[in-house]
């Protein structure tokens, strides 16, 4: 007797269908800056492994494919923009630059990096072997299996650029130090290491940071990994600075980009050469960001959308672009959003809200909607792409 699909399986099937659609592929290609008519634009690989914990976590949270997939790829695009900015700051000519995406997972960001840089220059590593096999096969990069013990990890070469997104934000103190030391040893003489952390400012109210400067909780979105080795970690800036000195040497310089990773985690940048200047990172741009809270089809057939959007550079954006049924609508960000202001502790977000109500005849096809935050200098952030499935009486 055939098993009845679970709700999560049904959501996964819908997510795969959205990723495979021409409309969604075209949205991602545009946000990558690829002409739709070019071979690269038509060959964007949006395959997601069925065991990808990042998408699974979003599907469980939203119970709907559209917002989950939009968040998955929206964050991936923002991560890639951050990584590419830092990479090109140090290596304007990418020819011959060797890159290690460490703790790459199932390649949420890696798929975009492999479009921007020849995959032969990229090495991908993770403790999940099927993840390494997946990204190697799908994106053509070099795969390296990692190990639970840092001393056992030996890729057999050094790297010019090591990118570590959302690993140190999950490690206990002992592994934090051990992996930082291991990765510092894998840098070439001109090498640069980037890693992200949860700063202590992200701790829930009433949960103080201990005097050690690190707080580890044995819980995370990845239930497959040992929760005592991979949980949720918050750190102080002082703790990270001391850890960098232990790994690289006394008074070794580093640069902190606050909320540089998808407007949540801080990015720390360290060069192997202590004399290498890091000042150019002061021009780092966060770009626009936001979210869609309401995406409704009313009983009358009318569409309703609302959310918030801003730029963490200029403190505001020109408008939010909403497209459906072959038309594009521009929404000003002039609605009060005290919740966004409080969440990011930034008074510039007080009036970051936007909304749109649009009358639409009953009985038509469910519309495919793209919602994009547009900054004044042309930078964009994907907020939503998918069908509008919710109906409100």
* SS3 annotation, 215-276: EEECCCCCCCCCCCCCCEEEECHHHHHHHHHHHHCCCCCCEEEEEEECCCEEEEEEECCCCC
Q: Can you give the three-state secondary structure of the chain, one letter per residue? A: CCCCCCHHHHHHHHHHHHHHCHHHHHHHHHHCCCCCCCHHHHCCCCCCCCCCHHHHHHHHHHCCHHHHHHHHHHHHHHHHHHHHHHHHHHCCCCCCCCEEEECCCCCCCHHHHHHHCCHHHEEEEECCHHHHHHHHHHHCCEEEECCCCHHHCCCCCCEEEEEECCCHHHCCHHHHHHHHHHHHHCEEEEEEEEEEEEEHHHCCCCCCCCCCCEEEECCCCCCCCCCCCCCEEEECHHHHHHHHHHHHCCCCCCEEEEEEECCCEEEEEEECCCCCCCHHHHHCCCCEEEEEEEEEEECCCCEEEEEEEEECCCCCCCEEEEEECCEEEEECCCECCHHHHHHHCCHHHCCCEEEEEECCCCCCCCCEEEEEEECCCCCEEEEEEEECCEEEC
Q: Look up the CATH number of domain 285-393.
A: 2.60.40.10
End-to-end distance of the chain based on CA atoms, in angstroms?
A: 38
CA nearest neighbour of 47 among 24, 26, 19: 19
Place of tokens 């997601």: 48
Cα–Cα separations (whole angstroms), residue 128 to 53, 149, 293, 319: 11, 13, 34, 41
CATH superfamily of 78-283: Vaccinia Virus protein VP39 (3.40.50.150)
Q: Compute the distance between CA of residue 36 and CA of residue 39 in angstroms, rounded to an integer.
A: 8
> Is there a contact between 168 and 199 (Cβ–Cβ < 8 Å)?
no
Digit-by-digit pLDDT tens for the chain (393 residues) are: 445 568 888 999 999 999 999 999 999 999 998 766 555 545 789 999 999 999 999 999 999 999 999 999 999 999 999 999 999 999 999 999 999 999 999 999 999 999 989 999 999 999 999 999 999 999 999 999 999 999 999 999 999 999 999 999 999 999 999 999 999 999 999 999 999 999 999 998 889 999 999 999 988 666 666 677 789 999 999 999 999 999 999 999 999 999 999 999 999 999 999 999 999 999 999 999 999 999 988 878 889 999 999 998 988 898 999 999 889 999 999 999 999 999 888 999 999 999 999 988 766 678 899 999 999 888 999 999 999 865 655
Domain ranges within the chain, ordered by starting residue? 78-283, 285-393
């Amino acid at each position: 007797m055939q098993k009845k699909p679970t709700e999560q399986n049904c959501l996964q099937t819908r997510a795969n269908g959205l990723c495979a659609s021409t409309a969604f592929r075209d949205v991602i290609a545009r946000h990558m800056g690829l002409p739709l008519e070019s071979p690269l634009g038509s060959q964007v690989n949006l395959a997601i492994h069925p065991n990808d914990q990042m998408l699974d976590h979003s599907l469980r949270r939203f119970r709907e494919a559209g917002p989950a997939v939009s968040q998955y790829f929206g964050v991936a695009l923002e991560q890639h923009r951050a990584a590419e900015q830092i990479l090109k700051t140090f290596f304007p000519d990418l020819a011959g630059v060797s890159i290690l995406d460490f703790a790459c997972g199932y390649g949420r960001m890696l798929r975009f990096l492999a479009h921007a840089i020849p995959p032969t220059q990229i090495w991908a590593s993770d403790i999940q072997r099927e993840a390494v096999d997946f990204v190697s096969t799908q994106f053509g990069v070099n795969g390296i299996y990692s190990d639970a013990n840092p001393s056992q990890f030996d890729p057999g070469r050094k790297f010019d650029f090591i990118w570590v997104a959302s690993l140190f934000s999950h490690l206990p103190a002992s592994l934090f130090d051990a992996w930082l030391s291991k990765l510092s040893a894998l840098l070439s003489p001109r090498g640069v290491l980037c890693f992200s952390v949860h700063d202590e400012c992200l701790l829930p109210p009433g949960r103080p940071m201990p005097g050690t400067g690190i707080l580890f909780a044995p819980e995370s979105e990845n239930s497959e990994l040992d929760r005592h080795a991979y949980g949720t970690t918050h750190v102080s800036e002082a703790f990270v600075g001391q850890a960098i000195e232990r790994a690289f040497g006394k008074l070794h310089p580093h640069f902190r980009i606050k909320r540089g990773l998808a407007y949540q985690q801080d990015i720390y940048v360290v060069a192997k050469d202590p004399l290498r200047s890091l000042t150019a990172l002061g021009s780092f741009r966060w770009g626009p960001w936001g979210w869609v809270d309401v995406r409704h089809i009313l009983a009358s057939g009318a569409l309703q959308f609302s959310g918030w959007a801003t730029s963490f550079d200029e403190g505001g954006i020109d408008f939010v672009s909403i497209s459906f049924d072959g038309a594009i609508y521009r929404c000003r960000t002039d609605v009060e959003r005290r919740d966004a202001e409080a969440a990011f502790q930034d008074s510039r977000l007080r009036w970051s809200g936007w909304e749109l109500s649009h009358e639409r005849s009953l009985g038509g096809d469910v519309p495919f909607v793209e919602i994009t935050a547009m900054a004044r200098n042309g930078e964009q952030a994907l907020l939503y792409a998918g069908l509008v499935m919710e109906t409100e009486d």
